[in-house]
Copies of this chain bind each other. A is one copy, B any other.
């Protein structure tokens, strides 16, 4: 169905891609096979800040309604978004990225594989987000140490780290591998790997492995890869299960 949508003649839209009504595709957008773009979207807004004149939407992507993407970004296969997401220029993401409803990605960022942003996540320019990271609803990543200024000191989130709802991460902070930032935290300092932090300002509260599963108090809730597999490729889950004994934070008790 391609009724009532505007597709620029210099956009490259695969014949199997579905484009919703009232959606606008600008020049320079490349949409691969079997991608689905919802209604009321605007993809490929030009900007002088983009390092590339293209916007690459890979095979099998699903972009839900009312979303806005600028030119100059590229995503690995399996991109899925909620409604009304904004993605600015120079965003480079790996496979399996999920971007929740109302997320606002300011661009100039690098995102690894299988990263998941829940609703209303805001990410300032300059962020580096590693593989398998989770950012939960209302999380905000900053970049300016003394606003307003010309400095851009983006946040780094390392592999498998989890930032829970409504937490705020201050500029230049590194949230370490497999760590957990509890909901409602304001993180002003680096978070050590496999460590829980919470509070305003956030303070270390112990190893993540000390948190037990509510459904089975004998088992630790972290690393979450031991029990949460929904939506990940089977080969990745198999690798997780094989490697559990060698993951930092998985063998304490």
Interface assignment of A117: CB less than 8 Å from any CB of chain B: no
Interface assignment of A134: CB less than 8 Å from any CB of chain B: yes
User: Which of A27-35, A141-149, A240-248 participates in binding chain B?
Assistant: A141-149
**A146 neighbours in B (Cβ, 8 Å):** 211, 213-214, 221-222, 224
A165 and chain B: residue at smallest CB distance: B142
| Cα-based distance from A163 to B227 in the complex (angstroms) | 33
Number of copies: 3
Which size bracket describes the interface of A in this complex? 35 or more
Interface assignment of A93: CB less than 8 Å from any CB of chain B: no
CB 8 Å contact bits of A210-252 with B (1 = contact, 0 = none): 0101110000011010011010000000000000000000000
Given contact pairs A21-B24, A86-B102, A183-B186, a sample of 14 additional A-B residue pairs in the complex whose CB atoms are under 8 Å apart: A4-B4, A40-B42, A66-B68, A82-B86, A86-B101, A106-B119, A122-B137, A134-B148, A136-B142, A137-B140, A146-B222, A147-B162, A150-B227, A184-B186
Q: Considering the complex of A and B, which 8 residue pairs feature the smallest CB-CB distances, nearest first?
A: A146-B221, A184-B186, A168-B184, A148-B228, A166-B168, A22-B22, A200-B200, A142-B165
Binding site for B on A (CB under 8 A): 3-4, 6, 21-22, 24, 38-40, 42, 65-66, 68, 82-84, 86, 101-102, 104, 106, 116, 119-120, 122, 124, 134, 136-138, 140, 142, 144-151, 153, 162, 164-166, 168, 170, 183-184, 186, 199-200, 211, 213-215, 221-222, 224, 227-228, 230
